[in-house]
Each structure stands twice: as C-alpha cells, then as structure tokens.
Structure 1
Amino acid sequence: MKALITGASSGIGREIARQLSAMGIDVILVARRMTRLQELKEELEGNVQIICMDLRDALSCRMLYERLREEDIDILVNNAGFGVYGAFDETDLDKELAMIDVNVRAVHILTKLFLRDFIARDYGYILNVASIAGYLPGPLMAGYYASKAYVLRLSEAIYGELRRKKSNVHITALCPGPVQTEFNQVANVRFRIKGKKASDVAYQAINGMFGERREVIPGMLMKCARLLTRVTPTRLQLRTSYFIQHRKTKQ
C-alpha cells in the first residue's frame, strides 16, 4: 500500500507517517519545510518520498495530484492546516485567507481528485483531519472553527454518497480536541487542558480509518463534549466557546 500525507513535517501528520511506515506502508510526505521532511525520511524505514510544497496555492494542489496520479495511491491523509486566533474584526485578513486555502480549499481539491481515482478502481481510504471544533461555533477563532466544520461536513456527505454506491472506498473525519503539537504556537494560544499525545491520536485515527468509521473522536472527554453539542442550545455553546477561547490567549 501507498499513502500520501500532507502536513507531514510535524504533529499528527508526522505521527501518522511514522505509524503507517512501521506497518510496511510506503509513504509520500508533503509539507513546506524541507529540513523537517528530510529528517523524518531518514528516521523512517521502507520506501519514503518527500515533496516540499505549499498547499495554500490551488495550482500546487493540482500539480501534486498530477505528479502522483500514476503512483496508485491507496491512502490520502489531508492533515495540513493551521489556526488564527483573535476577534474576527481584528485578525489579519491575509493570514485568514491563507488558512482557508490550506484548511478548506486544499482538502477539497485533493479529496475530489484522488476520490475519483479511488472510485474508478473501487478501493482506497481518505482520512480528513477536522477537529472537535467542527461541531461548534468558535468566537475568537471563528474562521478556524468554520474551516473545520467544512472539512467535517464534506467528509460526512462523501461518506453517505459512498455508502449509497456500496463502494469499497472509505472516508473518515478525524475530530480531535487539544493535541500536543505546534498548533498552539502558530495560532498563538495555549490550551488550559492537557492535550493528547499526537502519537495516540494518530493511532486511533489509523484504526478508525481502516475500521471504515465515519468519524473518530479521540478521548472520552471529547466524546462527551460531542454529545453535549447535540443537546446544548446554540446560545450556550457560544458563551462556552467564547469562555474557552478567551482563556487560551497568551496576551
């Protein structure tokens, strides 16, 4: 088998690469930081390819697909993404647009292009990294929460379409809560609860993907949070989300 992993230079993406490689699966690693990719390649055994690419550019996403369409990819992991913290009227527009390009547009393009090939041969797995944030409104991280809601709902809709087709192609949305990664530094926030280890999240994500699950929510606390979103009024969700986000600030 062969897996393509975006955002593979750190965090969940790096751990997924490590664990898939340990399973004997060939991996193609995509990220912006070549040095990190080279370090990871040297660490892994088996067949490892690295591609330094910025997925904020839609053309780059298409070029990535064209470059790899003959590689017979079996697994697509859309992990690349980042967050922006702050009140919506105060955050930098260009940074937010870049976030949307990576979190939403790149996921949409790569999912669509590789999904078509997977359906044509009736085999393949897609793992889209969303977030528990995708189930909630997110004051002070409005764009990030909205982007993860897009990834979650897109993945769920495709899951429904594939089941209707009785397809052997499977798509899973990973919806973690806080994870011990570089996300905090990039978004300029700090979580008040201890994040899960990226390796543990990756392990559950891979098991859920191969288990053909629609969604994977690592950790009992986050599973309980998901259940609460089903019964909690939006007004209360907004207040709770604001309180949680406000406490994250480093300022």
Structure 2
Amino acid sequence: MPKFAVITGASSGIGAEFARQLSARGYNLMLVARRADRLQALSNSLTTACEIFTADLTQKSECLRLADALADRRIDLFINNAGFGDCGPFLQTDLEKELQMISTNIRALHILTKRITQQMEEQGSGALLNVGSCAGLMPAGPYMATYYATKAYVVSLTSALAEELREMHSPVYVGCLCPGPVNTEFNAVANVQFALKGITPEFCVRCALHGIHRRKTVIVPGPLVAAGMTLGRFLPRSAYVKIAAHQQQKKLYR
C-alpha cells in the first residue's frame, strides 16, 4: 500500500518541491494551500494519487478543519510548510500582515503539530517535519523582527517535542528544517532581495528527506549555512544581532 503524505503550503516553492519528490518516491499526497488552481496544476503533473484540500491556515477554524479531515487517516509523513515573511523596520511594517504571519507561522503550525503528532502516536508511527528557517537559530533579526521571532518559536517547539518523544521511546519522528535563502516566491511576499546566494528548492528538499531518514531534529541544508550557524554560537549575542541587522538591511528594496 502506498505511503501517504500531507503537505501544507504546497502551491509553490518548497512545498511544491516536496510534492514532486515525494510523488517520485511513490507517496500518495494531500496538497494543502489557498490556491486551488495551483494545487490542481501541480497535481496534474504528478504520477501518484493527489487530493486537494483548500484552506486558509491563517484561520484557526481552517486548521482544525484540516486536522479533523485527517483524523481517521493513516499519515506516514506530514510536512508543516505553510508560512511567509516580511522585511522592514518594525515601526514601519504592516501590523495586519504581521498578525497573519504569526497566525500562519506559529498558530497554524502549533495546532497541526499537536493534532498530527498525537494522531501518529496513536497509530504507532509517522514523521512530521516543521519547516523553520536558519533565522530561527539566530538570537534576533532586526529588519525582519517578526519573521525571525516566529521561526525561533518553530525551532524551540520542535526541539522540545522531539526530546519528549525520545524520552517516551516513541516511534514517532519530529524534526525541523532550517534552510538559509531558498530561491522561491518568498522574496516577493516578504519584500526582500537575498543578500546571499540561495539554494534551489530541489536541493533543499533532498537534504530535508535525507535528514528525516537520519531522524535529525534540526536539518540545515548546505554546508556554508550550517557552518555559519555553528560559528555563530561562539559570537557574543550583541555582535550576532548586529551582523544580522547588517545582512537584513541589504535585503530591503531600494
């Protein structure tokens, strides 16, 4: 029987690439996003069975509707990918956009992590990957303050849950993908230009699936970003934040 994977934020970028690579590995899929037309086009290009579930995960009710729709399904892999960013001085960025970001990057991810991990524990197996960012491994990100804060939440929650599952000797895996820049539509949504060269979604997802196989709690694709995150641990916090501010200022559109 084919394995079954669910991908949120599947209409573009990393989510769409997860769909392609998992379909190539024989997974049947449920693709979750707001844009049904994009999900249908992606589904038409894949070789395994795909279900389309349209939902606006900025809404708590929509998160619960998705969880309820999956309650009686066996889920082998859940990719918690929905999320977005924004860039600019905190005093100038749009409050409504930030609240939607918090709803998606934190609340939706929290609801689905809890409900799906509980379900996997009951079924006796499964893997859940939360898509974070290397931003979540850093102390702060001036000029992307809210985004960095949301991704820090993702890393902290995932790491804590992973340790709890280990201490329970649970067969369920939970991990967090923390890429640096990835060449997706993130730039346009977040109003940024990357200061560093981005990796491809294909490479990012290959690293993620390899990390899941190895049951790594935090997966950082690319040796340069991984090395940077490691070296950053030895910097004073104030120096690290100043470096982050300098890098974020390069991203702002002129």
Shared fold (TM-score greater than 0.5)?
yes
Gaps of 5+ in 1: none
Alignment of 1:52-67 (within 5 A): 52-67=54-69
Equivalent residue number for residue 115 of structure 2: 113
Q: Which among 21, 24, 32 is matched to residue 23 of structure 2?
A: 21
Q: Is 2:199 the partner of 1:201?
A: no
Partners of 1:109 and 1:218 lie apart in 2 by 26
Alignment partners' CA distance in 1, 2:228 and 2:162? 23
- Runs of 4+ that moved beyond 3 A: none
Task: Give, as a single letter, the amino acid of the residue that structure 1 aligns with 2:106.
Answer: V
Q: 2:154 aligns with which of 134, 141, 151?
A: 151
The Cα offsets for residues 81-114 of structure 1, whole Å up to 9 and x where unpaired, read as: 0001111111111100000000000000000001
Matching residue's letter, 1:170 = Y
Residues 134 and 150 of structure 1 are in contact (CA less than 8 Å); yes or no, is this contact kept in structure 2?
A: yes
8 Å Cα contact 2:86/2:144 also seen in 1: yes
Contact 1:2-1:74 within 8 A present in 2 as well:
yes
> Aligned residue for 1:139?
142
CA distance in 2, matches of 1:207, 1:221: 18
Displacement after TM superposition at 1:192 (Å):
2.2
- What residue is the counterpart of 1:96 in the other structure? 98
Return the letter of the residue paired with 1:128. Answer: N
Q: Residues 1-251 of structure 1 correspond to what in structure 2 (within 5 A)? A: 1-136=3-138, 137-251=140-254
RMSD: 0.8
% identical equivalent positions: 45
CA contact (8 A) 2:74 2:123 kept: no
8 A Cα contact 1:135 1:229, kept in partner: no
| CA shift for structure 1 position 217 | 0.4
Q: Which runs of 5+ in 2 are unaligned?
A: none
SS of the counterpart of 2:233? helix
Task: Please give the secondary structure, in 1, of the residue aligned with 2:40.
Answer: helix
Q: CA deviation at 1:173?
A: 0.5
Kept in 2, the 8 Å contact 1:3–1:26? The answer is yes
The one-letter code sitting in structure 2 at the alignment partner of 1:187 is A
Q: Distance in 2 between matches of 1:25 and 1:223?
A: 29
* TM-score normalized with structure 2 length: 0.97
Q: Distance in 1 between matches of 2:116 and 2:54?
A: 19
Which letter maps to 2:235?
A: T
TM-score, normalised to structure 1, is 0.98
